[in-house]
Amino acid sequence: MIRILCTSTKGGVGKSTIAQQVATTYLLDREGTGTLIELDDQNVDSRWMNSSKIESRQIIVDGDAGFAVLDLFEEFAGKSFVLDIGNQTAEAALAAMGRNGLLGRFDLILVPVKDVGQDVENAKRTINKIREDEPSAKIVLVLNGLSRKTQDPNDRRIRALYGDVFDLGEDLDVPVLIMPGVEGYGLSRNFGKTLPEIADGADDLIAQLREKSLTLDRKGNGKEARRCMVLVEVVAIAKEASTWIKQLHGKFDELRGADQEAA
């Protein structure tokens, strides 16, 4: 059983992207199935995942995060899942889980950041709050959306531009993982699948798109024919992104001590 919490009290930090593309695909890769739960009254960010093997659910908070959290753990007792909570919901839900000792039931807690400044300040408050209630929680900072296509934490440019993120990690003894930005990510949602799922079926998808583009071209529909070829490029991008995601999956194994558990 694997449970991962992905949370932030600030919007625009890549939280839902990390939950959908990295955390839930980790479950899919390790267990053959994955469930994503969004604890949010406002948005259902995973609605686009209509062709994915991942099951996505929304649990309505309706002003009472405490009971929403209890409903969640009752329904998913003994099951793996990724929990995505953020913005206004996050503080109340984290407090409720802290009161009930539920934060310790997560194998990993991911706190995404995209930049220095306010992202770092919010991440610091979130981590400190979690640690108050669950000192042994395995927390990870996920620096994501970077234009530089590397996951090397010692890269000089990344260290220079995002030094505050690494300083926070060192100060709070929290590892920092890196997920580069994915060009054309919005277009990848046309497939209704996660990036690793697109990558796994890349050859078939490319063949289908090329054939469809040729058919549309012969019918004189140049615009749609071109769109199909753009999606071929998106598949190639998904293959590259999938290698980054799998690198993070390996890091998750290390942090969870998965080898020791298997032994």
| pLDDT per residue as tens digits for the range 64-73 | 888 888 999 9
Query: Which residues does 131 contact at the CB level (< 8 Å), separation at least 6?
Result: 137, 139, 172
Residue 133 counted as domain residue: yes
Residue 247 counted as domain residue: no
At residue 260, does pLDDT exceed 70?
Answer: no
Number of folded domains that form the chain: 1
Domain containing residue 129: 3-185
Residues 16/93, Cβ–Cβ less than 8 Å: no
Residue 263 counted as domain residue: no
Q: How far is CA 245 from the centre of its chain?
A: 9
Structure confidence at residue 45 (pLDDT): 72
At residue 139, does pLDDT exceed 90?
Answer: yes
Q: Which of 196, 145, 186, 141 is nearest to 22 (CA)?
A: 196
The predicted-structure confidence for 203-216, as pLDDT tens digits, reads as follows 999 999 999 999 99
Structure confidence at residue 102 (pLDDT): 94
Structure confidence at residue 209 (pLDDT): 96
Which segments of the chain are extended strands (E)?
Answer: 3-8, 34-39, 54-59, 81-86, 108-113, 139-146, 176-180
Residue 135 counted as domain residue: yes
Average pLDDT over residues 82-94: 88
Average pLDDT over residues 86-105: 89
Per-residue pLDDT band at 148 (split at 50, 70, 90): confident
Average pLDDT over residues 230-240: 93
- CA pair distance 81, 106, nearest whole angstrom: 9
Structure confidence at residue 258 (pLDDT): 64
Question: String of b and e for 80-107 (b: at least 16 CB within 10 Å)?
Answer: bbbbbbbbebbbbbbebbbeeebbeebb
Residue 139 counted as domain residue: yes
Average pLDDT over residues 10-39: 93
Residue 35's domain is classified under what CATH number?
A: 3.40.50.300
Q: Which helix (H) or strand (E) holds 28?
A: helix 24-31
Average pLDDT over residues 100-105: 94
At residue 86, does pLDDT exceed 90?
Answer: no
